[in-house]
Amino acid sequence: MQDRLTETDQRLPMYQRVKDALTQRLAEGEWSRAEPLPSETVLAAEYGVAIGTVRKALEGLVAEGLLERQQGRGTFLRRPSFGNALFRFFRLSDGSGAIVPPRARILSRTIGQDEERARTLGLNPAAPLLVLFRERSIQDRPALVEEIALDAARFQPLSTLPLDAFGDLLYPLYEEVCGLLVVRAAETIRFSQATPPIAAALNIPTGTATAVIDRIAYGIDARPLEWRRSHGEAARFNYTIDLR
């Protein structure tokens, strides 16, 4: 057990090496979300370090959003909460005020090449990509259209899954069907105008102001998993951030 750390750089602080080792085990799916990690005491024994060192490693992983700790219960793999949070950007309380879960529908699925997006995903420029077009609507009114690019190799099961089996959220699907866990995402917001296809999909006039959000979602191993571009009507856009 103890030599699990020997491969990592000896110059790094102990807690960092423990953290790296745990990250790798998390990435390999060693623990589900229902099942707690070994306790601090056990981990300390496994790695041959003091409990405080394990604690520091765990706290780091909590800070990075990989783990959740709960007193009396244990330490768990965290479920990222931004999965459907794109809708955080848009006003949801359309009329009734009740928060309705947005419905998703896959408009098309193709496999092809795209040099630029493959590069963005950290792949060989010629790598085949699985490309989805997706509509998300609230109360049967289209609110967003999304273009999604995935590594066709890693997401192979999705290329045969029936389109109506995709459900409303993709990230749980990635996890269940492909064993890939989204941990972090970076988004870029900018402003544009609806091109004819976008306008048609959103049911708004061509040229209407839109907000465009590009997202790159990263897996537990910090490599890009998904590229996504979402279009929505600018008038419905509303976003809040905290600065320090």
Instruction: Please state whether beta strands 224-233 and 141-151 pair in parallel, antiparallel, or not at all (unpaired).
Output: antiparallel
Binding window for a second copy (CB under 8 A); candidates: 6-14, 93-101, 128-136, 188-196: 188-196
219 Cα distance to chain centroid? 7
Residues 13-52 that bind DNA (CB under 7 A): 13-16, 36-37, 39-42, 48-52
Binding window for DNA (CB under 7 A); candidates: 73-81, 99-107, 119-127, 234-242: 73-81
Closest CB 96 distance from a second copy, rounded Å? 22
Tokens encoding 104: 């998703």
Residue 186 contact, options a second copy, DNA, none, Cβ 5-8 Å cut-off depending on partner type: a second copy
Tokens encoding 240: 């809040």
Closest CB 46 distance from DNA, rounded Å? 12
Cα dist from 133 to 2, 56, 60, 211, whole Å: 48, 43, 37, 17
Residue 65 contact, options DNA, a second copy, none, Cβ 5-8 Å cut-off depending on partner type: a second copy
* Residues 6+ away with beta carbon under 8 Å from 168: 84, 101, 102, 103, 104
Residues 103-162 that bind DNA (CB under 7 A): none
Q: Given CA atoms 82, 85, 88, 92 in this order, what sign does their dihedral have?
A: negative
Residues 65-124 that bind a second copy (CB under 8 A): 65, 80, 82, 85
Q: Is residue 60 within the footprint of DNA (CB under 7 A)?
A: no
Distance CA 179, CA 196 (A): 37
Nearest C-alpha neighbor of 113 from the set 146, 149, 148, 145: 149
Residue 161 contact, options DNA, a second copy, none, Cβ 5-8 Å cut-off depending on partner type: none
65 Cα distance to chain centroid? 12
Number of residues that bind DNA (CB under 7 A): 25
DSSP 24-51: HHHHTT-S-SSSPPPPHHHHHHHHTS-H
By beta-carbon proximity to a second copy, the closer residue of 70 and 240 is 240
Binding letters toward a second copy, positions 210-229, x by CB under 8 A: -x------------------
Q: Is residue 226 within the footprint of DNA (CB under 7 A)?
A: no
Closest CB 95 distance from a second copy, rounded Å? 19
Contact residues: a second copy, CB under 8 A: 63-65, 80, 82, 85, 183-191, 209, 211, 234-235, 237-244
